[in-house]
């Protein structure tokens, strides 16, 4: 990994410039540099983080949220939530959010990606993306004894064997994992034996992007080993705008203007500029460069170069709530790492000596459950009617969203021992995460109005607003009931002592539960869609075409989670790597034809 000085970077001649050294940015940059044919530059706002314990050690997941390597974005005040703002953590570091996420490795269902193609984006279906999922990863099979003991089921042909990101099952799995399976099975949710092979619904033990040889996080910086001295990375560089040159046909991207330690620089790219700043920052940078909705740009005092109305629109984020329960005090608990100094010291020594123990993994009890599994038929009918009546949605997209209502894993449940920051002497707690996968409500992310345009963008996720938001809220309401069933059913009830947050009384009071949902909804760090594939609608439906080229500009592409036109029912990390791998191939193909 070649991190260079600003002087060296500024005098370099680049073929490709990549804005953002995060999950997608490092992957696409390293693939373009692989082989040594092209000189590639990467501009990253954060700094290097390899070697930091809060990044490398799996058991410290979440510790870096709110730290110096988190952008610490916040949403605009949400009217439906009583004016509350929601934290939007994103990685500000070399490696981006792959350096601070919770190490979950999974893929969406086949239908999730096929829906992108249905909207008019050829080459973006499941069969097209599967080779790129596999190209990004090296799968390490579990120890046979652990596999037999935990009944780990998977399709080995679905995994990659030589990619930069190492993935594995945890070598030590929570004692409640078998109870989780038995409980979900008793409630009619079947074990999914091929949860990365195109159908994620069901209950399964999750894999993690952890290298089992070192028991450390495997993340985007691994990609840098593919390249040599032709990959130049500049950290602590803040991009101001993409330099666009006027041509007879429109505009062409020729370089990037950025600041480093308050000094301004301009660097050029002879072939392409690739924007990989993520769902929050990519639309902001496009708008700062004069690409966007004229009304938004006018409020910010930015001259319009390309009228692109969907820049910053269409943001979709998974909605999450966390129910907390008291559990058997004899269970080891992740909170002990933060609340018990002696336990934390012993765990730290165990990890340092043997790479085992509580710090060597993260929670792994997952389930994705279709609504039809637990929502009454009459209620499902009302949800369908509400979806059909939604205004402003193209019929094709509405049909996809409605199909997802009952046939796909609409709601994700995760069980984790630990519930920090709740602490009470002599008691142990656990958390049931409930995460809405296919939101009906969408929002926007735009540059600030003048004179604050270069500050954090305005994040307006639209939580529970309007008819679409009401649908989301009712789905969450119904799903809390099934969450309670999970916690109180045999076999998990053997260790659950009582419902704590919300209290048991709230589950039988719809109004109280609706209020609890509104008061406790948070984001899941899975935002997508702000520079989406346009499909058949073109620039009126999105920002990029199926080759990820920005409409109206030559030599400019977007490569990150923002290009996803519809949310997927999964954690998005593996998909972002696949997008980057596919993008690198397309860029190299297009370059070869020039």
Token pair of 161, please? 């064997």
Q: Output the tens digit of pLDDT for each of the chain's 594 residues.
A: 689 999 999 999 999 999 999 999 999 999 999 999 999 999 999 999 999 999 999 999 999 999 999 999 999 999 989 899 999 999 999 999 999 999 999 999 999 999 999 999 999 999 999 999 999 999 999 999 889 888 898 889 999 999 999 999 988 888 899 999 999 999 999 999 889 999 999 999 999 999 999 999 999 999 999 999 999 999 999 999 999 999 998 999 999 999 999 999 999 999 999 999 999 999 999 999 999 999 999 999 999 999 999 999 999 999 999 999 999 998 888 888 888 899 999 999 999 999 999 999 999 999 999 999 999 999 999 999 999 999 888 888 888 988 898 888 999 999 999 987 677 778 899 999 999 999 999 999 999 998 777 789 999 999 999 999 999 999 999 999 999 999 999 999 999 999 999 999 999 999 999 999 999 999 999 999 999 999 999 999 999 999 999 999 999 999 999 999 999 999 999 999 999 999 999 999 999 998
Q: 585 Cβ partners below 8 Å, 6+ apart?
A: 31, 132
Which amino acids are annotated catalytic?
526, 571
pLDDT at residue 298 in the model: 96
| Block residue for tokens 């409640």 | 176
pLDDT at residue 312 in the model: 98
Q: What are the pLDDT digits (tens) for 355-409?
A: 999 999 999 999 999 999 999 999 999 999 999 999 888 888 888 988 898 888 9
pLDDT at residue 501 in the model: 95
Torsion, Cα 125 35 239 9, to 10 degrees, reads 180
Torsion, Cα 207 488 343 522, to 10 degrees, reads 60
Closest CA to 457 of 218, 292, 260, 210: 292
pLDDT at residue 151 in the model: 86
Q: What percent of the chain has pLDDT over 90?
A: 88
Q: What are the pLDDT digits (tens) for 499-531?
A: 999 999 999 999 999 999 999 999 999 999 999
Q: What are the pLDDT digits (tens) for 412-440?
A: 999 999 987 677 778 899 999 999 999 99
Give the separation between CA 582 and CA 357, rounded to whole angstroms: 37
Q: Is 378 helix (H, G, I), strand (E, B) or coil?
A: helix
- Supply the pTM of this predicted model: 0.97
Q: Is 42 annotated as a binding residue?
A: no
| 3-state secondary structure labels for all residues of 155-209 | CHHHCCECCCEEEECCCCCCCCHHHHHHHHHHCCCCECCCCCCCCCCEEEECEEC
Sign of the dihedral defined by the CA atoms of residues 159, 165, 169, 174, in that order: negative
Closest CA to 347 of 98, 160, 336: 336
């Amino acid at each position: 990994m070649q991190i260079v000085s600003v002087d060296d970077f500024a005098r370099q001649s680049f073929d490709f410039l990549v804005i953002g050294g995060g999950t997608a940015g490092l992957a696409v940059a390293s693939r373009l540099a692989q082989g040594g044919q092209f000189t590639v530059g990467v501009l990253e706002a954060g700094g290097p983080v390899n070697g930091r314990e809060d990044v490398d050690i799996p058991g410290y997941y979440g510790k870096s949220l709110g730290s110096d390597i988190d952008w610490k974005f916040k949403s605009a005040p949400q009217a439906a939530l009583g004016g509350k703002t929601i934290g939007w953590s994103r990685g500000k570091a070399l490696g981006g959010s792959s350096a601070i996420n919770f190490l979950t490795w999974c893929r969406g269902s086949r239908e999730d990606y096929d829906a992108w193609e249905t909207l008019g984006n050829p080459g973006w279906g499941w069969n097209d993306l599967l080779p790129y999922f596999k190209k990004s990863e090296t799968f390490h099979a579990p120890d046979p004894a652990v596999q037999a003991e935990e009944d780990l089921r998977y399709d080995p042909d679905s995994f990659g064997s030589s990619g930069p990101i190492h993935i594995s099952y945890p070598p030590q799995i929570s004692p409640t994992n078998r109870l989780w399976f038995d409980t979900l099975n008793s409630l009619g949710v079947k074990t999914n034996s091929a949860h990365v092979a195109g159908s994620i619904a069901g209950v399964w033990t999750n894999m993690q992007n952890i290298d089992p040889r070192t028991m450390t996080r495997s993340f985007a910086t691994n990609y840098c080993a593919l390249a040599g001295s032709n990959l130049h990375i500049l950290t602590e560089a803040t991009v101001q705008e993409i330099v666009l040159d006027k041509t007879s046909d429109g505009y062409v991207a020729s370089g990037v203007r950025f600041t480093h330690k308050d000094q301004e620089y301009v660097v050029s790219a002879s072939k392409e500029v690739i924007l990989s700043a993520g769902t929050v920052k990519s639309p902001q940078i496009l708008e700062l460069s004069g690409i966007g909705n004229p009304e938004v740009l006018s409020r910010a005092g930015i001259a319009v170069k390309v009228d692109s109305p969907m820049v910053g629109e269409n943001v979709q984020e998974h909605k999450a709530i966390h129910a907390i329960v008291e559990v058997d005090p004899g269970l080891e608990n992740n909170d002990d790492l933060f609340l018990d100094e002696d336990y934390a010291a012993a765990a730290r020594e165990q990890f340092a000596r043997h790479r085992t123990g509580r710090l060597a993994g993260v929670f792994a009890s997952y389930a994705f459950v279709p609504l039809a599994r637990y929502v009454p038929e009459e209620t499902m009918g009302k949800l369908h009617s509400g979806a059909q009546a939604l205004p402003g949605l193209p019929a094709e997209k509405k049909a996809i969203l409605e199909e997802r209502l009952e046939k796909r894993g609409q709601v994700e449940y995760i069980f984790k021992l630990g519930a920090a920051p709740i602490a009470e002497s002599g008691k142990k707690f656990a958390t049931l995460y409930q995460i809405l996968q296919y939101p009906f409500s969408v929002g926007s992310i735009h540059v600030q109005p003048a004179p604050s345009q270069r500050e954090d963008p305005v994040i307006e996720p639209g939580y529970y607003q309007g008819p679409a938001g009401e649908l989301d809220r009712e789905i969450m309401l119904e799903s809390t009931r099934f969450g309670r069933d999970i916690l109180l059913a045999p076999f998990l009830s053997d260790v659950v002592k009582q419902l704590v947050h919300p209290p048991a009384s709230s589950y039988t009071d719809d109004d109280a539960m609706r209020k609890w949902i509104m008061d406790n909804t948070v984001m899941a760090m899975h935002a997508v869609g702000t520079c989406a594939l346009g499909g058949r609608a073109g620039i009126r439906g999105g920002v990029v075409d199926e080759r990820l080229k920005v409409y109206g500009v030559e030599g400019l592409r977007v490569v990150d989670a923002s290009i996803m036109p519809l949310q997927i029912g999964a954690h998005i990390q593996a998909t972002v790597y696949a997008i980057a791998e596919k993008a690198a191939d397309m860029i190299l193909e297009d370059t070869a034809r020039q």
